[in-house]
Amino acid sequence: MSVVISVRIPKELRDKLRELGIDYYREVVEFLMRRVQEEYYRQMSERYRRLLERSPRLGSDFATAFIREDRESE
């Protein structure tokens, strides 16, 4: 399903778009799709950053200790 949105632009701009053969419908839809994707990734990145800030830091020797413990348990 789709919806209609209206955008008022100067007549000269519309005439220029037509003169140049620019499909402004497609341009607007593609721009909005890119914008939504960029904002989605920005928000996800921000959430991830906040999550990392709240998480306890693991020491640099965490991986070494984990591997050693795993090997010793065999």
In a domain, 45, yes or no: yes
In a domain, 21, yes or no: yes
The predicted pLDDT at position 56 comes to: 75
Residue 26: domain span:
1-55
pLDDT greater than 70 at residue 67: yes
pTM of the model: 0.65
In a domain, 66, yes or no: no
Examine residue 36 and state whether it is found in any structural domain, yes or no.
yes
Q: Count how many domains the chain has.
A: 1
Q: Assess if residue 26 is contained within a domain.
A: yes
Residue at 20 is within a domain:
yes
- Asked if the structure places residue 61 within a domain, the reply is no
pLDDT tens readout for residues 21-66: 999 999 999 999 999 999 999 999 999 989 888 877 766 677 787 7
**pLDDT of the residue at 74:** 67
What's residue 54's pLDDT? 84
Q: Is 51 domain-assigned?
A: yes
3-state secondary structure the chain: CCCCCCCCCCHHHHHHHHHCCCCHHHHHHHHHHHHHHHHHHHHHHHHHHHHHHHCCCCCCCHHHHHHHHHHHCC
pLDDT confidence of residue 10: 97
